Structure 1
Amino acid sequence: MISQTESFIEKELTITKYVEGTLLLPNKNDHNSLAIIIGGSGPTDRNGNQNFLKNNSLKKLAEALSSKGIASFRYDKRVVKQIKLGIIDENILFDDFVEDAISTITYFRNKNIFKKIYVIGHSQGSLVGMIAAKNRANGFISLAGAGESIDNVIIEQINKTAPQFNGDTKRILQAIKKGKKVKDYPPALKSVFREDIQEFMKNWMSYEPTKIIKELEIPILIINGDKDLQTTVSEAIKLKEARPNSQIAIIKNMNHVLVPITGNDLDNSKSYNELNRKISEELIENIVKFINTN
C-alpha cells in the first residue's frame, strides 16, 4: 500500500515473513540517507505502541525525520504479528530480533537505493541494533539504550523498586545464566522470571552492550533523556566510556517515549499513553545533525 502526504510518501513493506513495516520517503529526498528504527522491549509495533500503551513515539520520530529530508523504515517486532494471528512462538529468542534487524539492513543494502544506512535502536532495540549494525550500517544511534547486560539492569531495577527481592533476583539470574530452569521464584517476580521466558532471558543476558559498542567501527551517537524513568543517564555514560570517540547527547526533560516532561513522575508515566504530546525537538536536531555530518 502506498499513500502520500505533503511531506512524504508512505509505503508498506514486507521484508521477510517476520518483518513488516513502513517506509517513509520525504518528497524532497535525494535518497542519501535511510534511518532504520528498531523498537524496544515487549510486543512493540512499528509506531512504538503496545496494547495498552499508545504514544506513537516511533511514528513521531519517523515523521519528524521525514520533515528534515531523512527517509526512515520502522517495523513491527515479530511477536506483534504473532499476537495478531494468535500463534505465539514460545521459543522466540533475543537472537531472533537481531536476525530481523540484520535482514532489514541487508534488504535495503541490496536495493542500493540509499547511499547511507543508519540504525536507530530504542531501549532494547539499542542492543539489537548495535549487534546488527556491525559491518552493515554507516552509523548507529543508541536511543535510551542500556549500558549494562540485562541481568544487571534487572538487579538495579529490583533494588530500586522492591529491594526485599534482591537476593532472589540474583539467585534466579545466576541459575538462568547457567541454563537451569527456575520454578521457585516469588509470585511478585512472575512477570520477569516466568518459565516460558527464561530461555529468552538467558540469550538476552549473554550480550554486554559495552563490549559490543567497542567493536563498532562506525560513527556512533548515544542519546538519553534526563527524565527517562526506565533508562537512566548513567547507562548512556557507560556506553560513552566504552567507546570514547562516540558522540553523546543528554536531552533535558526528555523521557523514555521521547517527549518533553516538565511535571512530576506521574505526568511522566501518563505520557506513555498519550498520543497528543510532541516529540522532543532537541532529539530530532541531534539525530539530523549526526546523520547529515556522518
Structure 2
Amino acid sequence: MKKIAFFILPFIIFSIKAIAQDVTIDASLTETPISAKTLSSTISGSLVMPKNVKDKIPVVIIIGDAGPTDRDGNNAKTGIAGNTYKLLAIELGKKGIATVRYDKRFVGATTTSIKESQLHIEDYSDDAVSLINLLDNDQRFSKVVLFGHGEGALVAMLAGYDQSEKGFIIAEGFADRGEKIMTDAMKDKPKFLADEFKAIMDSLKKGKTTDKVDPSLYYIARPSIQPFVMSFCRYDPIKSLKVIKVPILILQGTTDLTVPVINGDRFKKAKSDASYMQIKNMNHILKDAPADPDQNTATYDKPNLPLKPELVNGIVEFISTKLK
C-alpha cells in the first residue's frame, strides 16, 4: 500500500514519484506573469483571467500547500504532480473569475535571500500579503479573495488578518495546532524515534533547537527546519479562524486521507456563520477519489484528471452570492 502524504513541513518525503505534465490554458483565457516583492523575496506567479474583460472581476489568490509547492500545485520532492492549482485557475477563469497562483520560496521562479534555516511561517504570510496589496491596487479587479489549501489555509489566515480581502476560502485545512499534527504523525514510528521527536518538540517549546537528530527524523525535524517548526506550532488555526471578519467558505473532501473530515467539521463549529461544503469523494488534491489508499494516491500523478465539479461550482457561488 502506498504511504499517504503528510503535508506540513518543507521537503517532506512522499512515496509517489512523478513529473507533472503541462496543462494547456483554455483559449478563452490569458495567462501572464506577475510578481511581488517582500523584504527578502521576489514572488513569481501567474495571473489567469478571461479575455476581453469589460468590467472589474474578482481575483482569487491561491496559497499553496506545504513544502516546495510550485504555482501549479505540484511538488517534485514529494512526487505530487496533479496540477491542482493550474486546473483551478482554468476552471475559475472560464467562470469569469481571475486567479493568481505562485511558486513558494525555494521552488520555481520565486527567489529569496534567506536560507531554509531562516524560514518561518510568517514569511509565507508576508508573501501572500504582498500579493494582496498588489491586486487590491489593480483597477481590473473588484475584490480579492484568499484560497488557502492544506498548510496554505493557515498561511492565508495569518495573511488575511486585518487586510483588504473580501472573502476567505479554506480548502482541506488542518484544525489542530502543528504540534498535535506532527506528534500524531509519529504514532506509527518506532518508540525510540517517537521519544526523540518528543524531546525535540519539548526543546522547541523552550525556544531551543536540537542539533543532533536521528537521520530517520530529518524529513520532519532536521536542524535547519526546526525554526520553521517552532513558528508553525505557534498558531492555533481555530483561534485564527475566529478573528476573520469577512465571509468564509470551508471546503472539505470526504476521502481526504491527509486531512480527515473532522477538521472541516471543527472549523464550521468554531465559525457557525461560515459556509461549509463537505464534498463527497474528494481527496486532498481536490479530485474525485475513493477511500482506498492505493486508488486515492494514484490520482496524485494524473495531471489531467479534472477537479471535482462541485468544488469549482461552490467557489463560484460563494464569490457571486456571499461577497460584497
2:239 alignment counterpart: 211
Q: Does 1:126 align with 2:153?
A: yes
The reply on whether 1:139 has 2:171 as its aligned counterpart is no
The answer for the alignment partner of 2:102 in structure 1 is: 75
Cα offset for 1:24? 0.7
How far residue 138 of structure 1 moved from its aligned partner, in angstroms, is 0.3
CA distance in 1 between counterparts of 2:109 and 2:50 reads 31
Q: Deviations over 1:136-165 (max 9, x none)?
A: 210100001111111111122222x33735
Residue 268 of structure 1 and its aligned partner are, at CA, apart by 1.1
Look up the match of 2:281: 253
* Gap change, CA 1:150 and 1:74, over 3 Å in 2: same
Cα pair 2:116 2:225 within 8 Å, conserved: no
Other-structure match for 2:269: 241
Runs of 4+ in 1 over 6 A off after TM superposition: 82-87
Q: 1:179 aligns with which of 204, 207, 216?
A: 207
Q: Secondary structure at the match of 2:217?
A: helix
Q: Which string of whole-angstrom CA distances, capped at 9 and with x for unpartnered residues, describes residues 207-252 of structure 1?
A: 1111111100000011111111111111112222221111111111
- Residues 198/89 of structure 1: CA separation in 2 closer, same or farther (3 Å cut): closer
Q: What is the aligned-residue RMSD (CA, Å)?
A: 2.3
Residue number among 73, 96, 106 corresponding to 1:48 in the alignment: 73
Please tell me whether residue 188 in structure 1 is matched to residue 216 in structure 2. Answer: yes
Q: What is the identity, as a one-letter code, of the residue corresponding to 1:261? A: A
SS at match of 1:64: helix
Deviations, residues 99-143 of structure 1 (Å, cap 9, x unaligned): 000000011112233111100000111001111112321010000
Secondary structure of 1:261 counterpart: coil
Deviation of residue 289 (structure 1)?
Answer: 0.7
Percent of residue pairs bearing the same amino acid type: 33
SS of alignment partner, residue 115 of structure 1 = strand
Q: Distance in 2 between matches of 1:38 and 1:151?
A: 22
Question: Is 1:13 equivalent to 2:34 in the alignment?
Answer: yes
Q: Which one-letter code corresponds to 2:253 in the other structure? A: G
Aligned-partner residue type, residue 50 of structure 1: N
Distance 1:185 1:4, change over 3 A: closer
Hey, what does 1:99 align to over in structure 2?
A: 126
* Secondary structure of the structure 2 residue equivalent to 1:162: coil
User: How far off its partner does 1:262 sit?
Assistant: 3.2
Question: CA 1:83–1:132 in 2, change beyond 3 Å: closer, same or farther?
Answer: closer
Contact 2:43–2:103, Cα closer than 8 Å, also in 1: yes
Asked whether the 8 Å contact 1:140–1:219 carries over to 2, the reply is yes
Structure 2 counterpart SS, 1:272: helix
Question: 1:184: Cα distance to partner?
Answer: 5.0
1:7 shift after superposition: 1.8
Could you give the per-residue CA deviations for residues 19-39 of structure 1, whole angstroms, max 9, x where no partner exists? 110001112643321111010
Q: 1:155 to 1:263 in 2, by over 3 A?
A: closer
Q: Take 1:262 and 1:39, find their aligned partners in 2: how far apart are those partners?
A: 23
- Cα distance change of structure 1 residues 26 and 265 upon mapping to structure 2, 3 Å threshold: same
- Counterpart AA for 1:6: A
Name the CA distance, whole Å, in 2 between partners of 1:175 and 1:61.
40
**Kept after mapping to 2: 8 A contact 1:37/1:119:** yes
Structure 1 182/87 Cα, relative in aligned 2: closer, same or farther at 3 Å? Answer: closer
Larger deviation, residues 172-181 vs 33-42: 172-181
Q: How many angstroms apart in 1 are the aligned matches of 2:103 and 2:32?
A: 14
Determine if the alignment matches structure 1 residue 202 to structure 2 residue 230.
yes
- Given that 1:117 and 1:139 are in contact with CA atoms closer than 8 Å, whether structure 2 keeps it comes out as yes
Greater Cα shift, 77-86 or 276-285: 77-86
| Secondary structure class of the residue paired with 1:11 | strand
Cα gap change, 1:182 to 1:292, in 2 (>3 Å): same
1:31 and 2:56 matched = yes
Cα distance in 1 for residues equivalent to 2:108 and 2:97: 27
2: CA distance, partners of 1:86 / 1:111: 27
In structure 1, runs of 5+ residues without a counterpart are none
Q: Secondary structure at the match of 1:90?
A: helix
Partner SS state of residue 80, structure 1: coil
Mapped partners of 1:63, 1:5: distance in 2: 7
- 3-state SS in 1 of match to 2:72: coil
